[in-house]
Amino acid sequence: MLSTEKGRETVKKVLDVLSEDARLSYAEIARKTGLHKNTIANVIKQLEQDKVILGYRPVVDYEKLGMHSYFLLVKSKKMLTDKVIKEIYQKGTQITYDFDKEGHCQVLHSGFLHGFFDVYICFVANDLKIARTCVHDMVKNFDEYIDTYELMEELLMVRRCGHLNKGLFD
């Protein structure tokens, strides 16, 4: 499917429409792309089998839930070899952050970077106090890996998961 220019164009069309609204039927996607609905079904099925499409989830406006977005940038003490990345990953999957007594903190996504900082963690929390508590616990749990870090709060969400903030200039 991705081996030909036409196949790549077809996949791009389908993914562009799904990125806007993954709840659309095959018929609606076909209408928007100009492709046959059987083609849409086959493309989506293949993308799911190939793990190109990892899942479907809602795009949440956390501000409407009273939560704020934060980014934690981390500079590692250690060289990020495959072994160290695996250690961090395994340790991270065993830790949960539950601040429901005082508020809520939820890690949305994280990854490894190339540049001054080595790791980023994007999370939401009720307020800056809860965010700092969450960061304090993360730093405590990963102290052996962390040289320095910086916590940043998102002030204005322009685009999330491909969706523009349509109320931005209302």
User: What tens digit of pLDDT does each residue of 85-125 get?
Assistant: 888 877 776 665 554 555 678 888 888 899 999 999 999 99
| Domain at 5-49, CATH from 1.20.144, 1.20.1740, 3.40.50, 1.10.10 | 1.10.10
**Residue 160 clears pLDDT 90, i.e. is over it:** no
**Residue 15 clears pLDDT 90, i.e. is over it:** yes
Instruction: Compute how many other C-beta atoms are within 10 angstroms of the C-beta atom of residue 85.
Output: 15
Render 61-97 in DSSP notation, one character per residue: -GGGGT-EEEEEEEEESS---HHHHHHHHHHHHT---
What pLDDT sits at residue 79? Answer: 85
Q: Work out the pLDDT band at 18, boundaries 50, 70, 90.
A: very high
User: What tens digit of pLDDT does each residue of 39-66 get?
Assistant: 999 999 999 999 999 988 888 888 888 8
**Residue 170 clears pLDDT 70, i.e. is over it:** no
| Domain at 62-157, CATH from 2.40.30.10, 3.30.70.920, 3.50.50.60, 3.40.630.30 | 3.30.70.920
